[in-house]
Amino acid sequence: MKPKVLVIVESDPRSSGRPAEAIRVAAGVGTWKKAEIHLHLRGAAILTLGEWVDDLMDEDNFTRYLPIVRESGGPITVEAGSPFLTDLGESTTPHTPITVDQLADLAAHSSSVLRF
């Protein structure tokens, strides 16, 4: 059975390059097919899924690597009820809102949790 890796991104992509790097790492690990990658976005990190990423740091990483995360089978979830969900406009990437309890369950059943 493949290890499960949960990547939690909560840094603000408007002021930090950490979200872009986290998504690049998730895409890279996912393409190896040696682990199941689950990407979860919280807070301002949700903005990386929006149609307007031009104002975010390292914006090319979002348009380049988010599709790779999806292609490698990794689900993308977001913080349910986040006010940033309304700022997305048309999301370019399918995602599923989950609660804090569901995130805790994912973390408990993951082999590794990476937090950015």
Q: Encoding tokens for residue 34?
A: 């040696």
Contact between 103 and 80 under an 8 Å Cβ cutoff? The reply is: no
Match 């809102």 to its residue by tokens: 97
Distance between CA atoms of residues 91 and 28, nearest Å: 22
Q: Residue 84: phi, psi to the nearest 5? A: -70, -15
Domain that holds residue 9: 4-115
Q: Any idea what the CATH number is for the domain that residue 61 is in?
A: 3.40.1260.10
pLDDT in the model for residue 12: 97
pLDDT in the model for residue 52: 82
pLDDT in the model for residue 64: 93
pLDDT in the model for residue 74: 83
- Number of independent structural domains in the chain: 1
Residue closest to 92 by CA, chosen among 52, 54, 44, 51:
51
pLDDT in the model for residue 102: 98
Predicted TM-score (pTM) of this structure: 0.94
Alpha helix (H) residue ranges in the chain: 18-31, 59-71, 100-108
Match 């990476």 to its residue by tokens: 114
Q: Encoding tokens for residue 85?
A: 């969900």
Contact between 74 and 30 under an 8 Å Cβ cutoff? The reply is: yes
pLDDT tens sequence for the chain (116 residues): 899 999 999 999 999 999 999 999 999 999 888 999 999 999 999 999 998 888 899 999 998 999 999 988 889 999 999 999 998 878 878 999 999 999 999 999 999 999 99
pLDDT in the model for residue 35: 93
pLDDT in the model for residue 44: 97
